Amino acid sequence: MSDSPYLVKPHSKVNLKKYPTNDTGDFKDKEDAEPATDRHLKRLSVLQEVLYAQAKYSVLIVFQALDAGGKDGAIEHVFSSVNPQGCQVTSFKVPSTEEKSHDYLWRYHMHVPARGMIGIFNRSHYESLLVERVRKFAPEKVWSKRFDQINAFEEMLAAEDVIILKFFLHISKEEQKERMESRLLDATKNWKFNPGDLEDRKFWDDYQEAYEDVLSKCSTKHGPWYVVPSDRKWFRNWVISDAIVRKLEGLDMKFPPPVPGIEKIKVK
Amino acid sequence: MSDSPYLVKPHSKVNLKKYPTNDTGDFKDKEDAEPATDRHLKRLSVLQEVLYAQAKYSVLIVFQALDAGGKDGAIEHVFSSVNPQGCQVTSFKVPSTEEKSHDYLWRYHMHVPARGMIGIFNRSHYESLLVERVRKFAPEKVWSKRFDQINAFEEMLAAEDVIILKFFLHISKEEQKERMESRLLDATKNWKFNPGDLEDRKFWDDYQEAYEDVLSKCSTKHGPWYVVPSDRKWFRNWVISDAIVRKLEGLDMKFPPPVPGIEKIKVK
């Protein structure tokens, strides 16, 4: 099966200005896309059962975005049909004192999914090349080494049958503004509003540049990045589900063979 | 809101023979029950969002059953509508060498859900009073102390705002036989068949007795047990979802207040 058109080809140089945030592919509107997304979600649910039963591969799905980019919504929507027993979401927040006292990959490694499992990272080890770079928590001579370190880490995981997909949810600066304003106005969304996000918004251009470097240097054969046009949530969900289904369909997954002599076993 | 009728009242003496496994409550059949279950699942999804946003309570849901009792199916079904980001399932298998070198509660404690989260235990710390007792992995003078130890552990958790619900999925010996046989015959279910389960089936009466002690001694105000009639999967799902919704409706959950001065904040 062919790759998603939103995949970043290895060694390409990404200029995010050339990636539209409001693309809707071949779909006219939400009603037009939803049946296609629903078919993907149903298929994903079937594929997950075999993934779990076979317990050969694990699937690591990384979500990165600027604030209000839609990570939470994408996770809620795209994984709504998967069996929660086979799916583990880890939301990485500000590191604890213990986590800070380790190397930067330590806490992420601990949450890499086990064989048979889908593991979802809401934020990820890439924060070490994004917020840490932009807000100068790490000096350049430290973070500049991390592209290669992360590529090596992911290559090791891939060699151990971890299937990696990384999604950058790409929204416009105007869309971010609208979403932040709706968090301010809607009493059931107020809790999602974090005043610190306004501060980060001032660094918009720096974040775009940091993302461009990540996407250019860390989209690899074993750990591809996808730039997901995310102004339209329904299209975002389609792109993500489409990429995951394509990837899983391409694996040689099957139910494991029964124990030898199963045909002779009697339940008394 | 009143308690589920399937709750084991604290200090009652449970005789499992008096608990029908094929009860279907007020429902005629599957078609009759499904709309009621679906309403519970929708409600659970709404309640979970507030639980997550408020991040005051966490919810620990324990599933125990004999082999083929339906733990996996119940988890898949009842939690199909919850946001995977707010829900973590832990399936406890044979302990690792490291886990064995700790006290028996250590590995379970590590997976108690954080505030705002629903944590589901597929098997639990109660195995220390079930398989370890029945199969004599622990001597009586060791396991006999664990009822009080577990009650104390759960009381501490409850005092820290962990809401605990424990479900025993109660099936008949005949129903277990049928389910095991279908695992032998259906190629997509073969992988669920574990020859060790046949061995455990020989200890059916010992397990019933061990469960009766657990249910009699460890159903407490802060950590109630429910005996779920589970021969009919659709009724099992209704009982579980009903008990969870009743419990969560009884909490004073609300969205957290907005940050002070939110009305003056402008997004630039």
pLDDT digits 0-9 by tens, B218-247: 999 999 999 999 999 999 999 999 999 999
Rounded to an integer, the average pLDDT of B2-30 is 96
**Residue in A with minimal Cα distance to B49:** A188
Tokens of B253: 């959950």
CB contact under 8 A, A191 and B267: no
Contact B198 A53 (CB under 8 A): no
Phi, psi of A164 (to 5 degrees): -110, 130
Residue B88 CA to residue A256 CA, distance in Å, equals 26
How many CB contacts within 8 angstroms connect chain A with chain B? 109
As a whole number, mean pLDDT of residues A25-37 equals 97
Confidence label for A137 from pLDDT (cuts 50, 70 and 90)? very high
Chain B residues whose CB is inside 8 A of the A255 CB are: 187-188, 190-191
pLDDT in tens, A88-99: 999 999 999 999
Is pLDDT above 90 for A234? yes
User: What per-residue confidence (pLDDT) applies to A6?
Assistant: 98
Q: In the structure encoding, which two tokens stand for residue A112, read together?
A: 């890499």
Helix axes B233-249, B30-54, angle to 10 degrees: 30
CB contact under 8 A, B83 and A76: yes
Q: Which of A201, A256, A265 is opposite residue B184, by nearest beta carbon?
A: A265
User: Residue A21 is encoded by which pair of tokens?
Assistant: 């945030």
Res A2: pLDDT: 84
Note whether A259 contacts B75, CB cutoff 8 Å.
no
**B91 against A80, higher pLDDT:** B91
CA-to-CA distance for B26 and A128, rounded, in angstroms?
56
pLDDT at A117: 98
> Which positions in chain A have a beta carbon within 8 angstroms of at least one beta carbon in chain B?
53-54, 72, 75-76, 79-85, 87-89, 91, 120, 122, 177, 180-181, 184, 187-188, 190-193, 195, 198, 201, 255-259, 262-263, 265, 267-268
Which among B54, B82, B85 has the least Cβ separation from residue A75?
Answer: B85
Q: Mean pLDDT of all residues in chain A?
A: 96
**Mutation to test the B interface, candidates A48, A82, A83, most B Cβ within 10 Å:** A83
pLDDT at A188 over 90: no
Q: Cβ separation of B190 and A80 shorter than 8 Å?
A: no
Q: Do B184 and A80 touch (CB under 8 A)?
A: no
Contact A184 B89 (CB under 8 A): no
Q: How far apart (Å, rounded) are the C-alpha atoms in residues A70 and A171?
A: 9
Res. B253 pLDDT band, cuts 50 70 90: very high
What percent of chain A shows pLDDT beyond 90? 90
Residue A177 to residue B267, Cβ atoms within 8 A: yes
Q: What local confidence, expressed as pLDDT, does residue A53 receive? A: 96
Residue A91: closest C-alpha in chain B: B85
**Residue among B132, B146, B125, B105 at smallest CA distance from B200:** B132
The pLDDT of residue B1 is above 80: no
pLDDT, tens digit, 9 for 90 and up, residues B57-94: 999 999 999 999 999 999 999 998 899 999 999 999 99
Q: What pLDDT, on a 0 to 100 scale, did the predictor assign at position A148?
A: 97
The DSSP result for B145-176, as a single string, is THHHHHHHHHHHHHHTTEEEEEEEEE--HHHH
pLDDT tens string A103-116: 999 999 999 999 99
Mean residue pLDDT of chain B comes to 96
pLDDT of residue B259 exceeding 90, the answer is no
Residue numbers in B near A181 (CB within 8 A): 267
Smallest CA–CA distance from A263 into chain B, residue: B184
Residue B216 in this model has a pLDDT that exceeds 90: yes
Instruction: Report residue A227 as tokens.
Output: 């730039």
Residue A1 has pLDDT above 80, yes or no: no
Measure CA B45 to chain center.
18
Task: Provide the percentage of residues in chain B whose pLDDT is more than 70.
Answer: 100
Considering CB atoms only, which of A91, A184, A255 is closest to B190? A255
Give the Å distances, CA to CA, from A153 to A9, A157, A158, B124. Answer: 19, 6, 9, 33
pLDDT for the residue numbered B188: 87
**Interchain proximity A191–B258, CB inside 8 Å:** yes
Cβ distance of B83 and A91 shorter than 8 Å: no
Q: What confidence tens digit (pLDDT) does each residue in B162-183 have?
A: 999 999 999 999 999 999 999 9
Does B184 sit within 8 Å of A267, measured CB to CB? yes
